[in-house]
Copies of this chain bind each other. A is one copy, B any other.
Amino acid sequence: MNKIRIGIVGYGNLGRGVEKAIKQNSDMELVKIFTRRDPKSLGEGFDLVSNANLYKNDIDVMVMCGGSATDLPVQVPSMAELFNTVDSFDTHAKIPEYFEKVNKSAKENNNLSIISAGWDPGLFSLNRVLMDSVLPEGKTYTFWGKGVSQGHSDAIRRIDGVLDAKQYTIPVDKALLSVRNGEMKDFSTREKHTRLCFVVAEDGADKERIEQEIKNMPNYFSDYDTTVNFITLEELKRDHSGLPHGGFVIRSGLTGEETKQKMEFQLELGSNPEFTSSVLVCCARAVYKMREKGQTGAISMLDIPVSMFSPLSDEELRAKYL
């Protein structure tokens, strides 16, 4: 059987995770990693993003590993002219507009693009739709953490006098317990998650001011109970170098005469980027299988039967998994 030939665009945490995940899937092979850096400095197997068009006949699916802010909105519509693509675009408010652009480009060029894959958006979205569909009367809750939020860590790093920082998002036990008990309450932002920050300050920096700037930062921290701990750079490197994450999607619902039903999906991730990469890689398989069946345009994980994620045939899946 021919292997699915994969290309990677972008070689940060996500791209490196995809490179590792491909090695775990024997039906795939990595053809090339495309980067904006000098490919020679990275060794064999790399080429410039601007040379990707030379590989049109050698790559079945391009896994797009750039950032949602500036990379993906430009790169994906352009790559979708040449390749089937998978990406993890996660700027929620812009997804409909992004979808339209990628859909047009992919459709016009007979390619298939999976947008906004990963775990949220992605596996969590899939579970929210599934749960709401099975139990139409009820409430669905999403909790994130315990895990490192890169966006929030970056926001702290931009504060004057901060050398480095890590921010953990932590679900509030009391709220989680209430949801699991089927109480179906409404929670404020503050009641659902707390934020825990580890900050390395510059020598002589005003820690009191830094702490206040963090706690009062709109959108990022001001709606949460936030704890700020100042630590040394050594402590940060020793104790907070990982990128763990995870979370919960829980639906509490009622059937019949007020019968309580509960569905829950959980992730506990040692590495957020490596897990997201693993999702992208099984989406690359899905895009390949669905394109073979004739599908083109843009889709999300909501549009993919789970059998498409698997290397097994429909017969094997029915016999082993049903």
Write the residues of chain A forming the contact surface with B, with a CB cutoff of 8 angstroms: 17, 20-21, 24-25, 92, 95-96, 99, 116, 121, 123, 125-126, 128-130, 132-137, 246, 255-257, 259-271, 274-275, 277-279, 282, 285, 300, 302-307, 309-311, 314-315, 317-319, 321-322
Bound CA span A302–B308, Å: 9
Contact A24 B306 (CB under 8 A): no
With beta carbons under 8 angstroms apart, the residue of B24, B99, B116, B255 that contacts A136 is B24
Contacts of A263 in B (CB 8 A): 123, 265-267
State how many copies of this chain the complex holds.
Answer: 2
Known: A133-B282, A261-B269. 13 other contacts (CB 8 A): A20-B255, A20-B256, A96-B315, A246-B262, A255-B274, A261-B267, A261-B268, A261-B278, A263-B266, A264-B266, A302-B305, A302-B314, A302-B318
Contact B256 A260 (CB under 8 A): no
10 smallest A-B Cβ distances: which pairs? A133-B309, A259-B270, A255-B274, A262-B268, A264-B266, A121-B322, A260-B270, A302-B307, A133-B282, A259-B271
Contacts of A270 in B (CB 8 A): 255, 259-261
Contact B265 A321 (CB under 8 A): no
